Amino acid sequence: MLLPKGARETSGPREPRSYKEQVRQRLFVLLQPVTVTNCTIERFGEPHDGGYLVCANLLDSVQAAYSYGISGYDQWGCDASRKLEVPLHEYDCFDRREPACPGGDPRFHAECIGPAASVIDGKPFDTLANQIARNGDAGKRLVVKVDVEGAEWNAFLLTPDSVYERIDQLIVEFHGVEDDRFPAAVEILKRFFHVAHVHFNNYSCDPGLAPFPAGAYEVLFVNKRLGVVDGSEGEWGPHALDAPNNPGARDCQVSGK
């Protein structure tokens, strides 16, 4: 089993794993990348935090882009809109600044993603399925990026299969490693997607979360309709196009297979 870089195996008996350790281990195994042989990696977004890797050559059929959790900036979404020449739907109910996107086609929504349509503390939430349908995109091929500080888990658990079938690539920054909802959500996603790449966010490095080196991590999911795999485990990274989210701090990645 891989250990975070810098960690060492210890000899002799050890205490039985706690429940949280078992959850972390299960989640870590589920997120083992596979080798997607027909993927040409490209970086969309900012040079550091806000940049994510995609399989650029597998986005040709995408008809709309969705970007959740933008905090007033969204170079990822703008790159997707301009390069793919598609509309971009941006969602954030906490930061209602609308990012500029010269040459793109952005449509900002002051709303957040959630497990159900609701209003919480005056902020509107709705499901991924409802938001896509409301925009007239229910039958379209999509690329979706989600970075919503932990709200992703419940949203994914309750998203219908028909939505996942239409998403060509799903890019997620997950937050957290110790709740048993998390493996359940990833198991659902893996019915539709290959895990093509994982990058750990060095704003959240924490050796106490082993085998995870950090509590937040970016995952590239490629729809199984598109991704070709050879059965081999992929590299944990980092990829040459990865960059530390915080360029001023030490990085924390795992490497190897």
- Whether residue 253 is contained in a domain is answered as no
- Whether residue 203 is contained in a domain is answered as yes
Q: Tell me which residue range forms the domain holding 154.
A: 19-233
Question: Does residue 9 carry a pLDDT above 60?
Answer: no
- Whether residue 246 is contained in a domain is answered as no
Instruction: Give the pLDDT mean for 125-149.
Output: 98
One-character DSSP codes across the chain: ----TT-----S--PPPPHHHHHHHHHHHHT--EEETT--EEEEE-SSTTEEEEEGGG-TT--EEEEE--TT--HHHHHHHHHHT--EEEE-SS-------TTS-EEEES-EE-SSSEEETTEEEE-HHHHHHHTT-TTS-EEEEE--TTTHHHHHHT--HHHHHHEEEEEEEEE-SS-THHHHHHHHHHTTEEEEEEEE-GGGB-GGGTT-SBSEEEEEEEETTT--EEEEE------TT---SSTTS--------
pLDDT class for 256, splitting at 50, 70, 90? confident
Q: What CATH number is given to the structural domain containing 229?
A: 3.40.50
- Whether residue 8 is contained in a domain is answered as no
- Whether residue 152 is contained in a domain is answered as yes
- Whether residue 199 is contained in a domain is answered as yes
- Whether residue 184 is contained in a domain is answered as yes
Give the number of domains in the chain. 1
Question: Does residue 98 carry a pLDDT above 60?
Answer: yes
What does the pLDDT read at residue 14?
A: 53
- Whether residue 128 is contained in a domain is answered as yes
* Mean pLDDT for the chain overall: 94
pLDDT class for 255, splitting at 50, 70, 90? confident
Per-residue pLDDT tens over the stretch 39-48: 999 999 999 9
